[in-house]
Amino acid sequence: MQRIILIALTCLLIILGLIRVFHIVDVYSVPTLSMEPNYKAGDVLLATCLKSPDYNDVVAYKSMQIVTHPNSEPKKVTFLGRVVAQGNDTMKIIDGFTFVNGRPIDKDINLKFNYIIHPNELELNREILNELDAKDIFEKDEFPVTIITISPSFHDKLKNKDQIRKQNSKIRNDGRYLTSMSSKIKEEWSMNNLGPLIIPDKHYFILGDNRNKTIDSRMRGFISEDDIVSTVIE
């Protein structure tokens, strides 16, 4: 009897090991704010390599980490992000939203953006802004404006919303990223307005849902299908 139990446990451990090694089922903890509002830091996600990524799927993928020191040895680590374009697609980002082959791809995805709010509008909206987490309000006395991180639907509830506009930062291209995008980034492109770009065959363009608080394909570049580890199944 003990021999049977031992054999059964050994087989179970082998099966579990194979499942892990071949990414049949992976478990990930969301490490940052990059996938808010859909996934918060600390949320646990299940993923599998048995499902090929499709548009708007969240995937685990490998990409080079940020090079923070001249003597650092770059290596690939695993990140989470949402597939917005695939090989041979023509992609463009307009006011933060992604269009692929002329059609909106993420209009039904709940996204977050940074918005710039001036003192008058800040005071006018103090009550409703109290609904936000402290991490979503960047307010400093020495700065003339406040940055709030909200969804477009929350923005629609604000008073004088036409005066509260998205922050349109430049794409970082300062040599800290090992990226296929460096030679493609044009001076007039920004985090919210980019392209058109043609995605190389067998590659993906992957973005975070928290569009101003993520390091994604806008800086990391195109992600090879060989670097896709697994697709999230919730």
Determine how β-strand 76-86 pairs with β-strand 58-64: antiparallel
In degrees and rounded to multiples of 5, residue 2 shows phi and psi of: -60, -35
Q: Give the model confidence (pLDDT) of 168-220 as tens digits.
A: 888 765 555 555 565 667 778 889 999 899 999 999 999 999 999 998 999 88
pLDDT, residue 71, reads 65
Exposure on the CB side of residue 180, measured as CA atoms within 13 A? 13
pLDDT of residue 6 exceeding 80: no
Grade residue 143 by pLDDT with cuts at 50, 70 and 90. Answer: confident
SS3 118: coil
**Run of H or E including 81:** strand 76-86
Q: Give the model confidence (pLDDT) of 113-125 as tens digits.
A: 999 999 999 999 9
SS3 20: helix
Helices (H), 41-168: 119-124, 126-129, 152-155
Sequence-distant (≥ 6) Cβ neighbours of residue 177 within 8 angstroms = 64, 66, 67, 215, 219, 220, 221
User: Domain 10-110+170-232 in CATH: superfamily?
Assistant: Umud Fragment, subunit A (2.10.109.10)
The structural domains of the chain, with segments of one domain joined by +, span 10-110+170-232, 113-166
- 209, 101 contact by CB (below 8 A): no
Question: Rounded distance, CA 150 to CA 20, Å?
Answer: 36
Shortest CA distance to 55 belongs to which of 28, 24, 81?
Answer: 81
For residue 116, give both structure tokens: 């710039």
Sequence-distant (≥ 6) Cβ neighbours of residue 233 within 8 angstroms = 46, 47, 48, 51
Q: Is the pTM of this model over 0.75?
A: yes
